[in-house]
């Protein structure tokens, strides 16, 4: 595709990537046609079609004709908004050079955004004053803003202020930092600068973040100007706006699905309770703490909040089972449940068998190695499930003070969380980033969901349930409850290696498929020790969804119940 | 924004995906949620009994769309989520324990393999082939197997038997009929398919009803006792209409009755694919079809209907391609019976013409694409037998 030669007067090329935006692109082009104080011949718009299947091009041409702005429509060379924007900016750069204007402006916005009337003038003036890269301000349209819950608006405001503080701290002297943004919806740079940095990196999306890194490497400062402004329709779940959409969803979730245990006093839960509740306690040598946990649960059971308690014991040798039985609680040896599956292979296996051996419509799991257990742990976990029908899965969150000698470090602890789970989730499942303790054993969920999920037999169970629950019911079906402060047993670093491997194997299976862990199965961990390789076994097997224990998925539902009685 | 605001699709097979795509293609701008009990994004099923089972295709070749496609098209996929209740009045589906409200719901729940109704037929060690998960298990077991028994001589049975044989497994195909495929395709075609299977070294035990399966490894059939390392039952499927039936949506013969636009008896509830008994506008009657192409076609009609496209209707003649070993059959037919089957043959391929009351109701072609194309057209027009 060949474009006509650029006009001599060309000062600015505006690049607009578009993916099926027939409803909005007209307003975008009209806004570009209505730019004030710039010569008509000085501006042209390059619309880059990213696999459009609708009338985007037609709508854009109509708007360009009506508004009197020069428009070129080209196809993107590869899938994704990043490739589309890069292609357009490459073309714009070549045209500005061909017109003899290396300091001309390559500006870009999105097809669902409308630039203010002074958008180009302000940026041309900034370039005349020495700016080489400009970040404009991106605001949500009034309708979109009104649709957001007030708490989300407030949170976004707070996040914006925090980012602005960082941007200001980083900005060199004399470079304006009037807001925190630098996004594809409004960014611009001179043709010479674009050529100097070697163009945009070929990325599929989030190409604007890539660009900022690239500029920083080349010592180009981004001028963030408040008066350079576009209005965007940041729809929740919007199309190519992955970054903003995930950001908005997370913000909504933090506002709507994060609770404090104090919000759920016993009376409130008893009034709201419509489902039966089972509490499953996997135990292994916790004679020191199990008594306290059971004593805290007893009043909740008497009050009718908890219908069933089951201790699933891993053949403890310290009398844990006898202690629990002595308090009148049902205790089962983990391997005696679903015996067809052989001896239980770990904590996840115990939880899976615990679900099979109980009947409550809501099931809560609690770690039993907690010294400072309070009834609020259970009240908090059950609260969202009993009070909000749209929630299917609740994860406990707490602060874990880590004792180092006599010093208590406030937010330490959870080394596998901080060094494995959190970075992994941020990389691959960013929607789960707001979970404070993704590996916490304090979990409650609806039975219907739990019976449809596979359970890794070992320490991979927590991250697996979290990722699978997200996939099964969406972020809006997940909740997090702040349970306060707690202390768990801390394990030696060497033991954590095996735990981390189990967590990684379970997560990899979900994110990158079975093949990603095939090499690890059945999970030997090789550790160099004293000059030789020692093998430690890590079992990464998974138990099938309890619902799938029937031979065919269509078989009558009474099978799992029969298995439960076994 | 046009059409439905909240579209919920129950089922992650080809029908469900096609409904989502059809809805967006027709300009549907609402929220789309696709619920699937499977743990995999929608994938291609046809290779599972062929290239995938033979080990010639990997899992990376199976997805129908990349994960990014769903994000870009605003389609929220819920994996591992079985819909357990449908309330047509309140317009809510319950899935994974939570209510999912909708304005329009497309039931695309498909069908499940029917366990063989004999002692041991429901043993978990007896394999079926339908989902990717079941194909993984079959492929894994086949990798370690020397001998396999395949029960059933329909498409899946014949394809899987040939594929297993090509892997070097000694395969015995057990079927109740005297000639494979005969009930659907007639004797002449069946005999040719039988010859292909024998060429691949598949032993055939025909006219033998299975009496029992022991330990998922020994099969008693027609007075004989056969033993193998794996037993695969390909005994047909039954539609998953339980959700609709329990909700009071009109069903017949275990399928949801829908018109050519995929509307069910209830406003806001559509059904398509294997679970539907849909009115075919060209045939002028309701048809139950379990083919891949029809799943896609009906799904698209349902999606377009949900987006407000009143012109979307199902009118094509159903058909499928089946590859047995390296030979491909192409078939287009209403599929609900014939009284005449006439074979034409030349050196390379053959064609079977199916007639009912003098009209052409189907065509089956091997290496004769022009007959297949012409036949499809004759069937759709209701033309006389050629």
* CATH code, domain with B371: 3.30.390.30
In terms of domains, do B256 and B298 share one?
yes
- Residue that finishes a domain, picked among B196, B216, B233: B233
CA atoms within 13 A on the CB side of A465: 31
Residues B260 and B350 reside in one and the same domain = no
| Closest to A355 (Cα-Cα) out of A442, A453, A275, A438 | A453
Burial of B324-351, coded b for 16+ CB within 10 Å and e otherwise, reads bbebebbbbbbbeebeebeeeeeeebbb
Q: Which two tokens stand for residue B230?
A: 């794996």
Domain count, chain B: 3
**Is B342 inside any structural domain?**
yes
B84 CB within 8 Å of a chain A CB: yes
User: Is B286 a domain residue?
Assistant: yes
Which residues in chain A are contacts of B115 at CB distance < 8 A?
A: 551-552, 555
Alpha helices in chain B (DSSP H): 14-25, 51-54, 67-72, 132-143, 155-166, 182-185, 187-199, 242-246, 292-306, 369-381
Q: Cα-atom radius of gyration of chain B, to the nearest Å? A: 21
User: Domain boundary residue among B212, B233, B254?
Assistant: B233
Q: Which of B275, B306, B337 is the last residue of a domain?
A: B306
Beta bridge partners of A119: none
Q: Which residue from A23, A212, A24, A192 is spatially nearest to A105, judged by alpha carbons?
A: A192
Pairwise CB contact (< 8 Å): B122 & A551: yes
Q: Which of B72, B116, B128, B307 to mutate to test the interface with A (most CBs of A within 10 A)?
A: B72
What are the backbone dihedrals phi and psi of residue A9, each rounded to the nearest 5 degrees, phi first?
-80, 0
> What sign does the CA torsion over A335, A336, A338, A341 have?
positive
Low-confidence ranges of chain A (pLDDT < 50): 205, 236-242, 551-566
Other residues' Cβ atoms within 10 Å of the Cβ of residue A456 = 29
With CB atoms and an 8 Å threshold, state whether B80 touches A53: no
Helices A461-473 + A493-512 axis angle, to 10: 30
| Distance between CA atoms of residues B365 and B321, nearest Å | 10
B72 with A19: Cβ contact below 8 A: yes
Reading chain B (386 residues) residue by residue, the pLDDT tens digits are 345 679 999 999 999 999 999 999 998 888 899 999 998 999 999 999 999 999 998 888 899 998 888 988 889 999 999 899 999 999 999 998 899 999 999 999 999 998 899 999 988 889 999 999 999 999 999 999 999 999 999 889 999 999 999 999 999 999 999 999 888 898 889 999 999 999 999 999 999 999 999 999 999 998 899 999 999 999 889 999 999 999 999 999 999 999 999 999 999 999 999 999 999 998 899 999 999 999 999 999 999 999 999 999 999 889 888 999 889 999 999 988 899 999 998 878 999 999 999 999 999 999 999 999 999 999 999 899 98
Q: Is B156 on the interface with A (CB under 8 A)?
A: no
Of B74, B80, B128, the CB nearest to A471: B80
Looking only at Cα atoms, what is the longest distance across chain A? Answer: 92
Does B94 share its domain with B36? yes
Q: What is the mean pLDDT of chain A?
A: 86
Residue B19 lies inside a defined structural domain of this protein = yes
The verdict on B242 and B287 lying in the same domain is yes
What pLDDT is recorded for position A197? 87
Residues of chain A contacting B65 with CB distance shorter than 8 Å = none
Distance from the A513 Cα atom to the nearest Cα atom in chain B, whole angstroms:
9
Is residue B14 within 8 A of residue B45, CB to CB? The reply is yes
In this structure, are residues A431 and A475 in contact, taking their beta carbons and an 8 Å threshold? yes
Judge if B124 and B226 occupy the same domain: yes
Q: Is the preceding peptide bond at A522 cis, omega within 30 degrees of 0?
A: yes
Give me the pLDDT at residue A1, please: 56
Domain that holds residue B359: 326-381
Would you call B97 and A392 a contact, using CB atoms and an 8 Å cutoff? yes
Q: What is the DSSP string of B140-196?
A: HHHHT-SEEEEE--SHHHHHHHHHHHHTT-EEEEE-SSSSTTHHHH-HHHHHHHHHH
pLDDT digits (tens, 9 = 90+) for B266-287: 999 999 999 999 999 988 999 9
Least Cα distance to B333 among B281, B372, B275 occurs for B372
Cβ-based contacts of A549 with chain B (< 8 Å): 124
- B355 and B217 both lie in a single domain: no
Per-residue model confidence (pLDDT) at position A252: 80
Q: Per residue in B290-299, pLDDT tens?
A: 999 999 999 9
Please report the ipTM that was assigned to this predicted complex.
Answer: 0.78
Question: Helices A242-256 and A150-170, interaxial angle, to 10°?
Answer: 120
Tell me the backbone φ, ψ of residue A358, rounded to 5 degrees. -125, 175
At B359, give phi and psi (nearest 5°).
-90, 150
Domain membership of residue B315 (yes or no) is no
Interchain proximity B72–A239, CB inside 8 Å: yes
Based on DSSP, count helices (H) and strands (E) in chain B, helices before strands: 10, 26
pLDDT in tens, B157-187: 999 999 999 999 999 999 999 999 888 898 8
CATH code of the domain containing B175:
3.50.50.60
> Does A204 touch chain B if contact means CB atoms closer than 8 Å?
yes
The per-residue pLDDT of chain B, averaged, comes to: 92
User: Nearest-CA neighbor of A112 among A59, A171, A167, A41?
Assistant: A59
pTM reported for the whole predicted model: 0.73
| B77 part of contact set with chain A, CB < 8 Å | yes
> In chain B, pLDDT over 90 holds for what percent of residues?
79
């Amino acid at each position: 595709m060949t474009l006509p030669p650029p006009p001599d007067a060309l000062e600015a090329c505006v690049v607009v990537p578009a993916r099926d935006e027939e409803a909005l692109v007209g307003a975008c082009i009209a806004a570009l046609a209505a730019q004030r104080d710039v010569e008509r011949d000085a501006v042209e718009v390059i619309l880059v079609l990213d696999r459009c299947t609708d009338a985007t091009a037609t709508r854009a041409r109509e708007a360009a004709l009506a508004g009197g702005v020069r428009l070129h429509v080209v196809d993107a060379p590869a899938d994704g908004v990043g490739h589309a924007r890069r292609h357009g900016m490459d073309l714009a750069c070549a045209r500005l050079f061909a017109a003899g204007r290396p300091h001309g402006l390559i500006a870009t916005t999105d097809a669902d955004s409308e630039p203010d009337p002074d958008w180009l003038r302000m940026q041309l003036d900034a370039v005349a004053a020495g700016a080489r890269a400009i970040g404009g301000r991106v605001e949500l349209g009034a309708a979109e803003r009104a649709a957001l819950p007030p708490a989300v608006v407030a949170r976004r405001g707070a996040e914006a202020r925090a980012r602005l503080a960082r941007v200001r701290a980083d900005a060199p002297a004399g470079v304006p930092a009037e807001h925190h943004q630098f996004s594809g919806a409004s960014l611009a740079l001179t043709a010479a600068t674009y050529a100097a940095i070697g163009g945009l990196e070929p990325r599929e999306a989030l190409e604007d973040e890539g660009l900022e890194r690239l500029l920083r490497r080349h010592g180009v400062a981004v001028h963030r100007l408040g008066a350079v402004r576009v209005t965007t329709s940041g729809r929740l779940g919007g199309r190519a706006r992955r970054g903003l959409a995930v950001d908005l969803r997370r913000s909504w979730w933090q506002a709507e699905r994060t609770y404090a245990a104090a919000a759920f006093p016993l009376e409130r839960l008893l009034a709201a309770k419509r489902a039966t509740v089972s509490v499953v306690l996997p135990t292994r040598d916790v004679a020191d703490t199990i008594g306290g946990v059971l004593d805290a649960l007893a009043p909740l059971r008497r009050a009718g909040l908890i219908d069933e308690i089951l201790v699933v014991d891993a053949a403890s040798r310290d009398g844990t089972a006898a202690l629990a039985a002595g308090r009148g609680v049902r205790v089962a040896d983990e391997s005696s449940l679903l015996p067809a599956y052989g001896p239980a292979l770990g904590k996840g296996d115990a939880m899976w068998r615990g679900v099979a051996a109980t009947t409550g419509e809501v099931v809560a799991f609690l770690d039993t190695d907690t010294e400072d257990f309070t009834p609020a742990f259970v009240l908090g976990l059950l609260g969202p499930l009993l009070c909000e029908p749209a929630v299917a899965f609740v994860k406990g969150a707490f602060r874990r003070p880590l004792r180092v000698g006599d010093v208590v470090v406030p937010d330490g602890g959870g080394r596998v969380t901080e060094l494995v789970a959190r970075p992994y989730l941020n990389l691959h499942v960013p929607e789960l980033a707001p979970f404070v303790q993704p590996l916490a054993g304090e979990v409650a969920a609806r039975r219907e969901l739990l019976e449809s999920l596979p359970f890794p037999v070992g320490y991979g169970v927590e991250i697996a349930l979290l990722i699978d629950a997200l996939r099964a019911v969406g972020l809006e079906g997940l909740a997090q409850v702040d349970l306060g402060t707690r202390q768990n047993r801390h394990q030696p670093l060497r033991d954590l290696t095996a735990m981390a491997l189990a967590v990684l194997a379970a997560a990899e299976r979900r994110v990158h498929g079975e093949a990603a862990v095939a090499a690890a199965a059945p999970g030997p961990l090789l550790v160099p020790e004293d000059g030789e390789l020692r093998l430690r076994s890590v079992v990464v097997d998974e138990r099938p969804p309890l619902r799938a224990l029937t031979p065919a998925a269509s078989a009558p539902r009474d099978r799992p119940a029969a298995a439960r009685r076994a | 924004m046009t059409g439905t605001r909240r579209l919920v699709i129950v089922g992650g097979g080809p029908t469900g995906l096609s409904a989502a795509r059809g809805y967006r293609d027709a300009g549907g701008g609402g929220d789309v949620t696709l619920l699937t009990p499977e743990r995999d994004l929608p994938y291609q099923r046809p290779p599972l009994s062929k290239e995938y089972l033979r080990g010639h295709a990997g899992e990376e070749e199976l997805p129908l769309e990349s994960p990014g496609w769903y994000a870009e098209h605003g389609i929220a996929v819920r994996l591992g989520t079985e819909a357990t209740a449908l309330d047509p009045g309140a317009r809510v589906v319950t899935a994974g324990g939570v209510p999912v409200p909708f304005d329009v719901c497309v039931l695309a729940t498909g069908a499940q393999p029917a366990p063989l109704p004999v002692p041991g037929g429901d043993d978990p060690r007896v394999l079926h082939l339908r989902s990717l998960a079941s194909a993984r298990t079959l492929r894994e077991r086949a990798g370690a197997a020397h001998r396999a028994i395949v029960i059933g001589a329909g498409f899946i049975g014949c394809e899987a038997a040939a594929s297993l044989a090509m892997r070097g497994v000694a395969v015995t195909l057990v079927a109740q009929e005297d000639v494979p495929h005969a009930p659907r395709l007639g004797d002449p075609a069946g005999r040719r398919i039988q010859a292909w299977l024998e060429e691949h070294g598949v032993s055939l035990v025909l006219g033998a009803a299975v009496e029992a399966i022991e330990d998922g490894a020994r099969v008693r059939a027609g007075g004989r006792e056969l033993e193998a390392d794996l037993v695969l039952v390909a005994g047909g499927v039954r539609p998953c209409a339980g959700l609709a039936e329990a909700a009071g949506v009109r069903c017949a013969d275990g399928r949801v009755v829908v018109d050519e636009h995929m509307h069910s008896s209830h406003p806001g509830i559509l059904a398509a694919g294997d679970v539907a008994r849909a009115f075919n506008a060209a045939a002028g009657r309701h048809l139950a079809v379990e083919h891949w192409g029809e799943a896609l076609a009906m799904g698209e009609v349902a999606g377009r209907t949900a987006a407000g496209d009143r012109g979307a209707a199902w009118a094509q003649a159903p058909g499928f391609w089946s590859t047995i070993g390296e030979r491909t059959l192409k078939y287009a037919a209403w599929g609900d019976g014939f009284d005449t089957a006439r074979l034409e043959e030349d050196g390379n391929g053959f064609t079977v013409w199916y007639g009912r009351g003098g009209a052409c109701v189907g065509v089956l072609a091997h290496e004769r694409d022009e007959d297949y194309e012409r036949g499809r057209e004759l069937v759709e027009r209701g033309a006389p037998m050629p």
